[in-house]
Amino acid sequence: MREWIYGLNPVYEVLRAARRHSFRLLIAQGTQAKDRLANIQKLCKNNNIPVEYQPREKLDTIQTHHQGVLLETSGYPYRTLHDMFGLAGQHGHQPLFLILDTLQDPQNLGTLLRTAEAVGVHGILIPLRQTATVTPAVVSASSGASEHLLITQINLAQGINTLKERGVWVVGLESGPDSQPLEDTDLSGPLALVVGGEGSGMRKLVRKSCDLVVRLPMRGRIDSLNAAVAGSIALYLAWGARGYKNQQGEL
């Protein structure tokens, strides 16, 4: 399957990660070759990727938010849990995973992927169906962070069981009367953070599979946060529990 990646940062990160096969780059005629675009052209030259200059109207017929560049690539390369544990072990880290239970909004998924990449998450689990997947819109929303992450599509119940068998503590994020305050939770060990879908939260079986469910502390009149915002805060708290200074640098 082929797809078009659009936008300067997403195209650059796809080329820099080099996990996909890139077939050709389209550049809108008249676009100045400087800064990010110059880097994109250099990567294409170094990797023998054909570059075509086309009228901007031609690019508009493919995707209107292209910023003057479109990259035709293969589909997103999903990975396995084995790869994720391998990444954590390679760096001597306690595993940190993110489980996304039927997130529907590509923008929310992209935001969480961008945060996950920023804090060094070793792997992300998404369901096999009823969920947003890594489409070009999600690549754009993540500003290309998706290309540097290990993401797997998996039966979440089975995936969670595998994580628990490997000693990973599975913590669901959801407000509710039976949720434990996050500040009372040790997030420093092997951890998988579960973020539920917008509105509906975690599905019953996934919630039941969690070792515990936690909530973020709040003091305002609004009683909940957007899934992407709540998940991003929790990811930073998990990274903080591991010690920011002890886990600097790229994975």
DSSP secondary-structure letter at 25? E
- Predicted local distance difference test score (pLDDT) of residue 217: 80
Say which residue the tokens 């075509």 belong to. Answer: 52
Name the pTM for this structure: 0.93
- Predicted local distance difference test score (pLDDT) of residue 169: 97
- Predicted local distance difference test score (pLDDT) of residue 178: 82
- Predicted local distance difference test score (pLDDT) of residue 142: 98
Number of H helices, E strands in the chain: 9, 11
Secondary structure class of 166 (helix, strand, coil): coil
Any idea where the domains of the chain sit in the sequence?
A: 2-74, 81-247
The rounded distance, in Å, linking the Cα atoms of 155 and 162 is: 11
The rounded distance, in Å, linking the Cα atoms of 21 and 27 is: 18
Say which residue the tokens 């915002």 belong to. Answer: 229
DSSP secondary-structure letter at 69? E
Which phi-psi region, left, alpha or beta, contains residue 23 (left: φ > 0; alpha: ψ -120 to 50)?
A: alpha
**What would the pLDDT profile of 9-59 be if each residue is shown by its tens digit?**
999 999 999 999 999 999 999 988 788 999 999 999 999 999 999 999 999
134 in Cβ contact with 146 (< 8 Å): yes
Q: Of 74, 33, 67, 63, which Cα lies nearest the Cα of 51?
A: 33
For each of the chain's 251 residues, which pLDDT tens digit applies?
A: 899 999 999 999 999 999 999 999 999 999 887 889 999 999 999 999 999 999 999 999 999 999 999 999 999 999 999 999 999 999 999 999 999 998 999 999 999 999 999 999 999 999 999 999 999 999 999 999 999 999 999 999 999 999 999 999 999 998 877 888 888 899 999 999 999 988 778 999 999 999 999 988 877 777 678 899 999 999 999 999 988 766 666 66
Q: Of 112, 98, 122, which Cα lies nearest the Cα of 143?
A: 112
- Predicted local distance difference test score (pLDDT) of residue 247: 61
What is the CATH number assigned to the segment(s) 2-74?
3.30.1330.30
The rounded distance, in Å, linking the Cα atoms of 10 and 120 is: 19
Radius of gyration of the chain (CA): 19
- Predicted local distance difference test score (pLDDT) of residue 248: 63
Structure token pair of residue 133: 């997947």
- Predicted local distance difference test score (pLDDT) of residue 128: 95
DSSP secondary-structure letter at 167? T
66 in Cβ contact with 94 (< 8 Å): no
What is the CATH number assigned to the segment(s) 81-247?
3.40.1280.10
